[in-house]
Amino acid sequence: MADTFDVVVIGGGPGGYVAAIRAAQLGLSTACIDDWTRAGGKAALGGTCTNVGCIPSKALLQSSENFDEAGHAFAEHGIGVAGLTLDLAQMLRRKDKVVAQNNDGITYLFKKNKVTFHLGVGAFAGGNANDGWKVNVSGPAPAELFAKHVIIATGSKPRPLAIDGKVVPVDNVRVLDNAGALAIDSVPKRLGVVGAGVIGVEMGSVWRRLGSDVTILEALPAFLGVADGAVAKEALKLFTKQGLKIATGVKITRVATGKNGVDVDYTDGAGKAQAQTFDRLIVAIGRVPHTAGLNGAAVGLRLDERGFVAVDADCRTNLANVFAIGDVVRGPMLAHKAEDEGVAVAERIAGQHGHVDLNTIPWVIYTAPEIAWVGQTEEQLKAAGVAYRAGSFPFMANGRARAMGDTSGFVKIVADEKTDRVLGVHIIGPFASELIAEGVMAMAFGASSEDIARICHAHPTLSEATKEAALAVDRRTLNL
Ligand code: FAD
Ligand code: NAI
């Protein structure tokens, strides 16, 4: 006999678990199925983000930055740290503890909100628009669920590296994906990273700070092509100064794993053949949607040509009352985008009007300095023929940044030439991840650069750089 719910959510990552909580808050009987387990077969709710993504990477970024600062930055403040040591095992244990706290936090939230949780793989087993959908759970406690509405939130998995059509196997010993990159048990002397995307620069930074000689091999000719050009240029300059070796325009021609390391052959940006041996190689060349196990074919679920679940602007699939959200659908693969879609879909199911504006989703790269942006870059505006004005302000001229001893980078605001409406905010510098929230709010409220310039910003704060960048749009900075 199937258990019947108003909503069954398949996947318990940031998209799925948040959708389940919101649906339950709105009075809908809700179940969530997730298959991620930790030691002992215990559920590990939170998906990629909590287990092998956002949370553990940020834990290691913080730990490694503390180590780097103690070794290099404290002396300028008059603080001596004699005999600085690295206990990598403890650093990894702390990371695992932070992950477990988050897993347990979600389990608690499910109980609090009366979301029924099923550990295992959820698969469509039939149904239709009139009668609803049947979803089977295979796992330690198999179950048959019946749902009026289904939310698919099955996420993504790493894109494999293929050379001449042959996939390079990931053993997570020598050749690592993002999970392996977060669990290296000794600092590799020579670390290779394929892909200078978000994972490449974040994980490259972690291991560089802990002592690895890191080389990042990027296929595209430009570094960080998704970011604003001036931000990407500044990032390349600063990361190179820190010691990251970044090669662009690279084509990998051979990866061979041996006893002593990984041999990588490639042609560089100038077309010259190169060969390097690394102790470990991280492959971070993007992610692909994860639909295996879902059995969507049984009910005729439509995927697009790239394998994402096809959805409209409201996250509706081709099946009545079946929605899909997060990494498994179009749009940026970011946890907060997945969460917002989860909330919006739950509200739509409850008869409300959820909405997600994909144009105001912020991006953050948690390197040092951090990089964050929202809206459009100057390059995108030029390509679209939009007339705009841009204003920048460097942290070098910001009192708080000077006091912190962290003056690299700048804030840039781009605004429509005629209306002055903010079209994009681009930051590289200290706490860019926090500062970007003001830019997101400005864009969500349709603010002008003058609006930001007229808001009182506390002194001395890094946020004054945002105000000054807004003043710079009108060529009237006060402190530069
Ligand atoms: P997922 O988090 O992938 O969750 C999907 C869940 O569904 C998983 O638990 C999966 O096992 C489960 N599942 C799949 N199929 C089934 C099935 N049939 N039945 C039951 N369960 C199933 N984003 C940010 O915004 N900020 C960051 O700092 C950040 N850092 C990242 C760092 C790394 C190293 C990586 C890899 C990613 C990072 N991301 C970050 C991206 C972020 O992790 C994803 O965008 C986010 O996890 C997507 O959420 P989701 O709910 O769509 O999918
Ligand atoms: P990515 O898309 O950010 O970067 C992949 C890079 O690999 C690109 O620059 C691409 O040109 C390059 N590449 C592709 N094929 C290649 C090849 N054969 N050889 C060399 N380079 C190649 O993907 P990444 O870093 O794997 O991260 C996946 C996603 O996870 C991100 O796009 C992002 O959505 C999410 N993420 C978000 C984070 C954050 O918000 N701070 C942190 C980490 C990941």
| Structure tokens, 279 | 């102790």
Ligand 1 mean position to 461 CA, how many Å? 34
- Closest ligand 1 atom number to CA of residue 15: 51
pLDDT (mean) for 227-256: 98
CB of 330 within 8 A of CB of 341? Answer: no
pLDDT-derived band of residue 160, with 50, 70 and 90 as boundaries? very high
CB of 443 closer than 6 A to ligand 2?
no
pLDDT-derived band of residue 232, with 50, 70 and 90 as boundaries? very high
pLDDT-derived band of residue 194, with 50, 70 and 90 as boundaries? very high
The residue whose C-alpha atom lies closest to atom 23 belonging to ligand 1 is: 334
**Whole-number mean pLDDT of the chain?**
97
Ligand positioned closest to the Cα atom of 58: 1
pLDDT (mean) for 60-80: 96
Residue type, 335: A
Query: Is there a cis peptide before residue 460, judged by omega within 30 degrees of 0?
Result: yes
* C-beta atoms surrounding 405 within 10 Å: 12
pLDDT-derived band of residue 213, with 50, 70 and 90 as boundaries? very high
What are 24-42's pLDDT values in tens digits? Answer: 999 999 999 999 999 999 9
CB of 296 closer than 6 A to ligand 1?
no
CB of 200 closer than 6 A to ligand 1?
no
Q: What is the pLDDT of residue 405?
A: 95
| Distance from C-alpha of 473 to C-alpha of 450, rounded to nearest angstrom | 8
Q: What is the pLDDT of residue 258?
A: 87
pLDDT-derived band of residue 211, with 50, 70 and 90 as boundaries? very high
What are 389-419's pLDDT values in tens digits? Answer: 999 999 999 999 999 999 999 999 999 999 9
Q: What is the pLDDT of residue 447?
A: 98
CB of 300 closer than 6 A to ligand 2?
no
Distance linking the first and last C-alpha atoms of the chain = 72
CB of 123 within 8 A of CB of 295? Answer: yes
Does residue 374 surpass a pLDDT of 90?
yes
Does residue 2 surpass a pLDDT of 90?
no
Helix (H, G, I), strand (E, B) or coil at 154: coil
pTM of structure: 0.98
Which of these is catalytic: 72, 77, 355, 459? Answer: 459
pLDDT (mean) for 285-303: 97
CB of 326 closer than 6 A to ligand 1?
yes
Ligand positioned closest to the Cα atom of 195: 2
Residue of 107, 154, 325 with the most ligand 1 atoms within 8 Å of its CB, for mutation:
154
The residue whose C-alpha atom lies closest to atom 22 belonging to ligand 1 is: 11
Q: What is the pLDDT of residue 129?
A: 83
Helix (H, G, I), strand (E, B) or coil at 197: coil
Does residue 1 surpass a pLDDT of 70?
no
Q: What percent of the chain has pLDDT over 70?
A: 100
Helix (H, G, I), strand (E, B) or coil at 331: coil
CB of 334 closer than 6 A to ligand 2?
yes
pLDDT-derived band of residue 260, with 50, 70 and 90 as boundaries? confident
Q: Render 26-61 in DSSP notation, one character per residue.
A: TT--EEEEE--B-GGG-B-TTHHHHHHSHHHHHHHH
Least confident segment among 45-49, 128-132, 265-269, 278-282: 128-132
Q: What is the pLDDT of residue 467?
A: 98
Q: What is the pLDDT of residue 27?
A: 98
Q: What is the pLDDT of residue 130?
A: 87
pLDDT-derived band of residue 259, with 50, 70 and 90 as boundaries? confident
How far CA 75 is from CA of 27, 63, 82, 83, 398, in Å, comes to 57, 18, 11, 13, 22
> Helices 198-209 and 229-242, interaxial angle, to 10°?
20
pLDDT (mean) for 82-95: 97
Does residue 15 surpass a pLDDT of 70?
yes
Is position 459 annotated as part of the catalytic site?
yes
* CB neighbour list of residue 9: distance below 8 Å, 6 or more residues apart: 16, 17, 19, 20, 23, 30, 31, 32, 33, 150, 151, 153
CB of 307 closer than 6 A to ligand 2?
no
Does residue 108 surpass a pLDDT of 80?
yes
- Closest ligand 2 atom number to CA of residue 284: 26
Pairing outcome for strands 370-375 and 422-429: antiparallel
